[in-house]
Amino acid sequence: MLRSVRSRIALCGVTTAVLVGLTTSGATPPASATPLADAENLFRPQLVTVDTPTRADKALLQTLGLDLTEHAGHDYVEVVLHTLADVTTLTGAGLDFDVRIPDLLAREAENNQANAAYAAATATSPLPSGRDAYRTLEDYNADMAALADQHPDLVERFALPHPSLDGKQIYGVEIGKDVTGPDRGLPTFLMLGVHHAREWPSGEHAMEFAVDLVRNYGTDARITDLVDRSRVVVVPVVNVDGFAKSRTDGGLIDLREADRGGTATILGTPGSAYMRKNCRLVDGQDTPDGSCALAATSNGGYGAGVDLNRNYGGYWGGPGASDLFADPTYRGASAFSEPETQNIRELVSGRHVTTLITNHTFSNLVLRPNGAAPDLVPSSEGVPLGDPYDEAALKALGDAMAAQNGYTSQHAWELYDTTGSTEDWSYNATGGFGYTFEIGAHEFHPPFLEVVDEYLGAGEYAGKGNREAYLLALENAVDPTTHSVLTGKAPAGATLRLQKNFATPTWDGVIEDTLNTTMTVGPDGRYTWHVNPSTRPVVMDRQVETVSGEPVAQESWTGTTLPLQSTDHEFTVGQDADLFEVVLDWPTPDDMDLEVYRKGADGSLTQVGSSGNFVGEKERVLLQAPEQGTYVLRAINFASVTPTWTLTASLFDAETSTVPGLVENWTLTCERDGRVVERVPVVIDRGQQLRVHLNACGRR
């Protein structure tokens, strides 16, 4: 594979277009300027599709410090290139790419024009709120306040405990019957939006779901029943600083000039419309309020900021999260170093969040834990991650939700490896199910009409969409078979507390975590408390697949191939096997590549794997559960002056082993007048109901 041919062509096209723009505009560069400097200054951000046919390619891409989107498949990842230096980095790594959107700023202008046209033509949209345009941060805060003011017994607006780095208050709403009354032990469904600043639809869908529940409560039997049996908490904008900057810049400057009855529109250039991270300027130091708004532009989150969805504690500091401050996926100085993630940590730790959805854009995906591949080994644990303990149930709900919106349901690691993400921490620390929704097919914040269609469903998914998927998630949250239930007797008005202190594994160490939740016993002296299981998934038994020592079938070839030429060999998979491994080796530190194809009955070839590592790194393709048939193995001399090689194809059976787990308990206490009267250890599994009478708490 000639890995850099297409990318070199793309780079030449970009440079040529920029220089032509200088010529046709009549601009005269200053004497000290160079064509390269002018090209750099006029380069517009691009969205490109990078070929990543192997996990090694994806791993390489994650080391380049580029702005990776959430849109990816088994053989590609989409990336935002903000500067010519980004283009040079990508081409220098030898990764192919195609330019999908050549000018994101021009696309932003087009979207704003489409949004203006839609708003002008729409009195009320089909959304629950009737909105016809993206909200600003002020709009979100006003809408949450209005819901609480208009429905005081159903909605409570609350401020999260930690203001943003720029001094902004972060708000959420809680929805439930008698919402301001004592906690009755109901399960919590948590909906989050806008961890990444530029992902505006993620906040819109979170907010619309809140409005939907409130507007239909009392008239829609399904929604009324679900709200009565739960507490729904919605935080539509987690990253308030970044969103405010992205939304302000993304609105563009629209200067209009009358010309004999016509209108000429000049659209300004947004500086932070595609900002990703928060407004962290210096690790470990707060800055004066307002510093973020005054800071330089932050295209894609370069330079300043922490990627909040790499800052959570679960396996923090591992693959898919950068330790370089300037990188878009910078994980922060430590787990939970940012006020925004501290807010969500405390919110989850203080409630029994039985189901969580965190919304992002884009890719049309429903992602479930884990974020890192099951064969990776955190040094903090020394054993492979394996699949989540609740994999079957997590997959079943993910598939059911994806059937409503047309998205693809998959493990998060199948997009690419990530660590420190929201649901990886929340699921592994609490046992509550967690998912990421990647909303939309093509853009971070597309024309607003697409937000409407994604929420309500369009085409074959009309009347379903994310609205129906969210309702399925809420049904899962209230279903007692998906969590645990404590019942019993205790003194009326007593405070019951469930608490657990434990060590959460990061990639290289641990952090201390605490879950501390309370409820109030009702006037009849009986309680029912919907809780998460006492044993965390991260310490439960895990199934690990390991390759058997000897291959069940193997064939090797040796040969030579001239530079820029290739040599093919065929291998037949004639039996069922768990793994098909192809290794290309050579005796010198030169560069060769490997491609593997499935041969059709008509002789056609379909590529099923490839490997194109850096100089000196040998090539390997691994296929899981390969179909029986004929495969073509292609050794390519990319840049080897001594092109002698060995090619080995092997079939393996995999052995499944169990890493023993632990059993943990909650500590249940009964408190009266602020004093602990009774303390009981409680072990309870998912789907289990356990009766615990706190008789001693009633004695004086």
Quick check: 409 pLDDT over 50? yes
Average pLDDT (246-266) is 42
Tell the residue number behind the tokens 């649901």, with chain if given.
423
Contacts for 186 with CB less than 8 Å, ≥ 6 apart? 176, 229, 230, 231, 478, 530
Write out pLDDT tens, residues 270-311. 467 788 899 998 898 888 888 887 776 555 555 689 999 999
Residue 21: what pLDDT?
25
Q: Quick check: 156 and 179 in contact, CB under 8 A?
A: yes
Domain residue ranges in the chain: 5-102, 113-249+306-481, 482-535+661-698, 549-652
Quick check: 470 pLDDT over 90? yes
Phi, psi of 530 (to 5 degrees): -85, 120
* Cα 151 to Cα 210: distance, rounded to the nearest angstrom: 12
Q: Is the pTM of this model over 0.95?
A: no
Residue 384: what pLDDT?
87
Give percent above pLDDT 70 in the chain: 85
438 counts as catalytic: yes
Average pLDDT (383-391) is 90
Which of these CATH numbers, 1.20.1740.10, 3.40.50.300, 2.60.40.1120, 3.30.300.10, describes 482-535+661-698? 2.60.40.1120
Task: Give domain 113-249+306-481's CATH superfamily.
Answer: Zn peptidases (3.40.630.10)
Residue 664: what pLDDT?
95
Burial class (CB in 10 A: 0-12, 13-18, 19+), 342: middle
Quick check: 211 pLDDT over 80? yes
Tell the residue number behind the tokens 């994650």, with chain if given.
62
User: 663: how many CB neighbours lie within 10 A of its CB?
Assistant: 10
The one catalytic residue among 438, 443, 450, 475:
438
CATH architecture of 5-102: 2-Layer Sandwich (3.30)
The winner for highest mean pLDDT among 106-115, 214-223, 319-328, 565-574 is: 214-223
Write out pLDDT tens, residues 110-154. 887 888 888 888 889 999 999 999 999 999 999 999 999 999 999
523 sits in the region (left: phi over 0; alpha: psi -120 to 50; else beta) called alpha
Structure letter (DSSP) for residue 461:
G
* Cα 381 to Cα 650: distance, rounded to the nearest angstrom: 30
Contacts for 244 with CB less than 8 Å, ≥ 6 apart? 136, 137, 168, 293
Average pLDDT (377-406) is 94
Average pLDDT (633-656) is 83
Write out pLDDT tens, residues 502-560. 999 999 999 999 999 999 999 999 999 999 999 999 999 887 777 667 899 999 999 99
At 66 the three-state DSSP class reads: coil
* Cα 8 to Cα 16: distance, rounded to the nearest angstrom: 12
Confidence of residue 11 (pLDDT cuts 50, 70, 90): very low
Residue 562: what pLDDT?
84
Q: Quick check: 461 and 405 in contact, CB under 8 A?
A: yes
- Is CATH 2.30.130.10 what the domain over 549-652 is classified as, yes or no? no
> Distance between terminal CA atoms of the chain?
80
Q: Quick check: 401 and 472 in contact, CB under 8 A?
A: yes
Confidence of residue 63 (pLDDT cuts 50, 70, 90): confident
Q: Quick check: 45 and 274 in contact, CB under 8 A?
A: yes
Q: Quick check: 193 and 203 in contact, CB under 8 A?
A: yes
Average pLDDT (319-336) is 90
